[in-house]
Amino acid sequence: MANTRKPKPLGDVAAVCGKDAQGVYILRRRSEDGPVEAGVVRPLVEGKAIAGEVISLRPRPDLPFLFDVKTEVPAPEAPVAAEPAPHGPAQVASDSYRRGWDAIWGPRTRASRPN
């Protein structure tokens, strides 16, 4: 008797490739047309920053090494790059700083040179 069951569509799936002290290494494909991405799944640790998105994995009954992926918390958006730093040393004495200095200490005078 031939197997007439239609296979379940893949959707967002991950295949486990290995494991070490860092976590579980996976290959993930988010959609039928999507690229294959490599990643590491680490357990959440209280007080430690989350890098990337939070996902949950549910094993597929037909393939034990393949997991259905559910995104619980999406990855934060990358911060917008700030404008590049100017070249040269930092400007620490602005015009307002100089005016305040003069208001407190008086205007600058030429110091006499010792002989």
DSSP per-residue letters across 64-76: TTEEEEEEEEPPP
Task: For residues 100 and 79, give the distance between their C-alpha atoms in angstroms, rounded to a whole number.
Answer: 36
- CA atoms lying within 13 Å on the CB side of residue 83: 2
Q: To 5 degrees, how large is the angle CA 34–CA 35–CA 38?
A: 130
Which range scores top for mean pLDDT: 45-49, 88-92, 108-112?
Answer: 45-49
pLDDT at 87: 77
Instruction: Please name the residue ranges forming H helices in 1-115.
Output: 95-105
Q: Is the pLDDT of residue 104 over 70?
A: yes
Q: To 5 degrees, how large is the angle CA 5–CA 10–CA 28?
A: 150
Mean pLDDT of the chain: 83
Name the amino acid, one letter, at 39: G
pLDDT at 113: 59
Whether the Cβ atoms of residue 17 and residue 25 lie closer than 8 Å to each other: yes
pLDDT at 115: 58
The pTM (predicted TM-score) of the whole model is 0.58
